[in-house]
Structure 1
């Protein structure tokens, strides 16, 4: 297992370099950030030249990337045009989004797997049809519609949860936006769990466990659910990074100044250092999540062994 982890970590290096270079190239291909900084006004040539020299914008793109990566390994993600360091922005935005993502991820796992297990064990019955209809409705409705409806009902009309987060970083303030953020992924997890549980319920090892007289709870948890979670864990691993990067709509609705909000501001202002720095962290999250998923395979299925 140790050699497998080391090999996977080494495989992440070219993936990380290739992904960050592609992001760096696409961000800088959007246009001249100096002209975007001044908007409709023509920039003063001397000031524009000074800014380009300060941020190495006169260098070829590959040289800009090399300099950026050199600073990156020292913990320097660059500086925005306003003088704020990207490291400070990361330290401000990521803890907020991490808390939101953690709440959404727990909701997705608990309710997604729970509903999927209930539906898979009662395939063709009322509970199964109810779960399928409910998840289809959730998938069909855009996230911003779900967000505004839940915000109005539970936040404004009934007052169950805070309508907006703002400076309130308590756990209760993130429950409602966490539900909105996790809603679509929860529906996919429920349907995927339902499919794998329904298929594995007919497997020989399940019939053997039942024939041996094992308690139903042990059969479901230790045998059926454990083997059914492998494709679900794969989806959850990739969805973890997607939750962090795709929180833009949710953060805008509930006034959360996290990763999505900061990325949006960076794209609008064409702050390349902000966009590249934040997306670089998201790439690392995706890589580590995929590594964790591969390690969980061996925990869920003892037949899986790594050389």
Structure 2
């Protein structure tokens, strides 16, 4: 059993004499139950059923911001004093396998949400500025599947593979629409080596993101293409307390953008390049632990 209580009690700001910040509070008791069945040989089945609760963040209720001179288009974020907490009922289940050298699992899940909190464009199409606001979607359903595989050898060689796919829909009365905040299919694979003494090691990581399906995106929205990027990282312990890390990211110098960064952007936009990620880049860091 989980109990949540929140109390949002903002104070008046003399710099904003005309803005009245909203107050709210609430609580919720959320049960959860899970079961595991061991099949032998390191394999097991599992299932969970849970109620969830998420209170609105203070910034979601009271935040106001605008930039009317942005070269990428004027925009404004407005508060929502009537934003309600989000509740959910979810179920997940799957199979896991664990041995000395292999960890694997596949999980399917389904969740139903009430008053789902989502940042939406609330201005009319083509309006200037574009207005964003956190709102409650009355009902939302999200389903998906995730899989992972990790293999470790005695010599320090290791590999990993992970895949995830989900889809969601919001319901307003009898109207059903795709949930825009769901990312498209993503695949991550890596291979590396780590010194058995944990003194140094490195890894190559491949990340692939599919293109957002046209049927799951709002009409007229920009949909960046699918992409595959390759990164390489390495570390070395230069002393007992110091670790030096370095990485080369986007080795293939791919031009790409994440769906989460561009959702809501019109396909006719002339500034889509402004939402792309960096090209080939490097980083170096030194960590101290005492």
Q: TM-score, normalised by structure 1?
A: 0.24
Which protein has the bigger strand share? 2
Which protein has the bigger helix share? 1
